[in-house]
Amino acid sequence: MARATERLQRYLEDELGECRSEAVEERLDELGTLEAAIGPEQVDTELDVLSALANETRYTLVRVLVAAEAELCVCELHAVVDVTESGLSHALSGLVEAGLVEGRKDGRWKKYRATNRAVALVTVIEGSVDE
Amino acid sequence: MARATERLQRYLEDELGECRSEAVEERLDELGTLEAAIGPEQVDTELDVLSALANETRYTLVRVLVAAEAELCVCELHAVVDVTESGLSHALSGLVEAGLVEGRKDGRWKKYRATNRAVALVTVIEGSVDE
DNA sequence: TAGTCGGTTGAGCAGTAGCTCAATTAATGC
DNA sequence: GCATTAATTGAGCTACTGCTCAACCGACTA
């Protein structure tokens, strides 16, 4: 960190043209503020959600459920991903934990549907990529 | 797959109340369509983007750059994440590859800024999580 | 032109993610 | 009650991710 701060100091001298040593503290503060404004625990949640989506099996499930705009049975979902029943169950449980999917038991079948969060995210991700 | 199809068959019999074996083919088709409508190569890109974001170091960098609404020098970014200079460089290069960040050389310094894609995604992710 | 500094690249290592297999739970039917 | 079926859980294995270290490239400066 010491070396990094020195570098930042030199950078600021370079950018600002002058050499106020306070500038470094100030800048570090600003950067710290940017980071802090984010709210560390929210970031954790966001990372959990992103990690849940960043996997082919799980993302496919979410996209299919969002596209379906309806509940789908586990056995239906099994038809769209290429993993074992066990793998599918693990995947779905991860998605539930991330708040991307909700499950409901119906007799001996279990049905899942996408949450609003999933719909919002998938919509934007699709949109921001196909340009 | 064979067993899975049998299960789907039973499920459909159960749901539809009757037993048309075409129903299975039909349903498989519908599911296949849902999946296909997605466009497999776009999904690959989306997964790349998601994977790039789903890491604390990289996500922090993106969030800071988005919040900054400005270019930041590598040496400034070094102040907000807890990795070596090398690790930082690797992280940034991953983000560039995912189209989330753009780099520009300025003399002997290098500056990065968030792309529109990054802004769009971060905004929605923040929004969809803080409810 | 040699040296220094900012940043990148590649190799290698530790930790975790994602899968399967086997065992288990819960609901239905005989 | 026992068997069957849908789905979940936990253990364990492999493969990949993310980091660091060391070497390197390019731009500025003495």
Give residue B61's Cα distance to chain centre.
Answer: 16
**Ranges of each domain in chain B:** 2-36, 43-129
What tokens were used for A48?
A: 């959990």
User: Looking at beta carbons, which residues of chain A come within 8 Å of B49?
Assistant: 125, 128-129
Query: Could you give the CA distance from residue A67 to residue A64 in angstroms, rounded to a whole number?
Result: 5
Helix (H) or strand (E) holding B125: helix B116-129
Report pLDDT digits (tens) over B30-64.
Answer: 777 777 777 778 899 999 999 999 999 999 999 99
Contact A46, B126 (CB under 8 A): yes
A43-129 has which fold? Arc Repressor Mutant, subunit A (1.10.10)
Does the structure's ipTM exceed the value 0.85?
Answer: yes
In this predicted structure, the answer to whether residue A93 has a pLDDT above a threshold of 50 is yes
Residue A12: C-alpha distances to residues A21, A40, A80, B107 (Å): 9, 27, 54, 14
User: Looking at beta carbons, which residues of chain A come within 8 Å of B63?
Assistant: 35, 38, 43
Give distance CA B85 / C1' D23 (Å).
Answer: 14
Report pLDDT digits (tens) over A31-50.
Answer: 777 777 777 788 999 999 99
Q: At what angle do helices A22-36 and B56-68 cross, to 10 degrees?
A: 110
